[in-house]
Structure formats: structure tokens, C-alpha cells
């Protein structure tokens, strides 16, 4: 029933995760130009507001936590939302 909206949500989350990874790499390389570019891309990723019913969909996944982001663990492909 909510398949399409969940797919869009997962795609948006994967896009955000990919950008976070690029930001992390830019920080590690002290690449200010790349960092600025990816920050501008990051703020453009839409975040959908899903109902509790939509969140019950079997494919739904929560956003990664700030702790995971701060630790750098999100660089692992195990955190991917979409497997292509």
C-alpha cells in the first residue's frame, strides 16, 4: 500500500548518506571546496514526513543516528538504505 512512498524515502536517505560520506572524505582531505559543494547538496535532500502507519512498512528504515555519524561508522556499506 505504501510501497512507492517508502521507496522514495529510502532513496532520499541513501542520497543523504552518500553525501555524508563525501563530506567525511572532504573533511579528511581538508578539501574546503568539495566540503562546501556537498553541504549545498546535503541541504537539498528532501526529508519526507511519514505517518506511523507508513513506518510499519516492512522495508522502512530509520535514519542513522547522530552517534553513528559522529563515529564515522556510517562509511560502512552495512548502513546503506538501498542496495543497487
Distance, in Å, from the CA atom of 19 to the CA atom of 73, rounded to the nearest integer, reads 14
Does residue 84 belong to any structural domain of this protein?
Answer: no
Distance, in Å, from the CA atom of 73 to the CA atom of 60, rounded to the nearest integer, reads 21
Q: Residue 42: which residues within 8 A CB-CB, separation 6 or more?
A: 16, 19, 20, 23
Structural domain count, the chain = 1
Per residue in 49-65, pLDDT tens?
A: 999 999 999 999 999 99
Does residue 10 belong to any structural domain of this protein?
Answer: yes
What's the grid cell of residue 72?
A: 564515522
| Cβ atoms of 42 and 23 closer than 8 Å | yes
What are the backbone dihedrals phi and psi of residue 43, each rounded to the nearest 5 degrees, phi first? -70, -15
So what's the pLDDT on residue 2?
A: 87
So what's the pLDDT on residue 84?
A: 66
Does residue 54 belong to any structural domain of this protein?
Answer: yes
So what's the pLDDT on residue 74?
A: 94
Does residue 11 belong to any structural domain of this protein?
Answer: yes
Mean pLDDT by groups of 10 residues along the chain of 84 residues? 93 97 96 97 96 95 94 93 82
Domain that holds residue 12: 3-79
Does residue 40 belong to any structural domain of this protein?
Answer: yes
Does residue 13 belong to any structural domain of this protein?
Answer: yes
So what's the pLDDT on residue 83?
A: 78
Distance, in Å, from the CA atom of 50 to the CA atom of 68, rounded to the nearest integer, reads 22
Instruction: Indicate the pTM of the whole model.
Output: 0.90
Amino acid at each position: 500500500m505504501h510501497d512507492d512512498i517508502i521507496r522514495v524515502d529510502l532513496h532520499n536517505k541513501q542520497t543523504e548518506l552518500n553525501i555524508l560520506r563525501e563530506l567525511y572524505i572532504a573533511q579528511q582531505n581538508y578539501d574546503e571546496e568539495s566540503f562546501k559543494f556537498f553541504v549545498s547538496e546535503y541541504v537539498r535532500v528532501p526529508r519526507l514526513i511519514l505517518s506511523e502507519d507508513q513506518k510499519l512498512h516492512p522495508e522502512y528504515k530509520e535514519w542513522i543516528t547522530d552517534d553513528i555519524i559522529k563515529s564515522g561508522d556510517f562509511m560502512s556499506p552495512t548502513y546503506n538504505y538501498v542496495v543497487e
